[in-house]
């Protein structure tokens, strides 16, 4: 079984709803952080973000088994939110806990 780092990028105002949906779908710990996205891809930006040239987003990371990725993406798809969510999954080559 392959561990996957699954990251969802959502509008800051949608963070809590997306995180709550994920908490109901997995026992994996969720790591939340606020991000400011700079760039030229403003397809997901509201008018104020387009004017500023920066998007306020939240990133939610979790490590799950590969077969859990699709069901968790389906959960986020069904969560009530106001903005699009982008996501990606990457295999975890190594991990551990340092005490």
- pLDDT tens per residue, range 1-24: 799 999 999 999 999 999 999 999
Rounded Cα distance, 44 and 8, in Å: 14
Q: Is the pLDDT of residue 41 over 70?
A: no
Q: Higher confidence at residue 47 or residue 11?
A: 11
Residue 79 has pLDDT above 70, yes or no: yes
Torsion angles phi and psi, residue 63, rounded to 5: -110, 125
Indicate the pTM of the whole model: 0.89
Q: Higher confidence at residue 53 or residue 32?
A: 32
Distance of CA 95 to the CA centre of its chain: 20
Q: How far is residue 45 from each of residues 18, 20, 70, 79, 84, measured CA to CA in Å?
A: 18, 23, 26, 19, 9
């Amino acid at each position: 079984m392959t561990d996957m780092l699954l990251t969802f990028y959502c509008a800051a105002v949608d963070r809590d709803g997306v995180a709550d949906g994920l908490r109901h779908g997995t026992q994996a710990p969720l790591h939340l952080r606020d991000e400011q996205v700079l760039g030229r891809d403003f397809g997901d930006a509201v008018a104020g973000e387009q004017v500023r040239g920066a998007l306020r987003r939240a990133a939610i990371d979790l490590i799950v088994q590969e077969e859990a990725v699709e069901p968790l993406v389906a959960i986020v798809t069904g969560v009530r939110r106001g903005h699009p969510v982008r996501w990606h999954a990457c295999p975890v080559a190594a991990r551990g806990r340092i005490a």
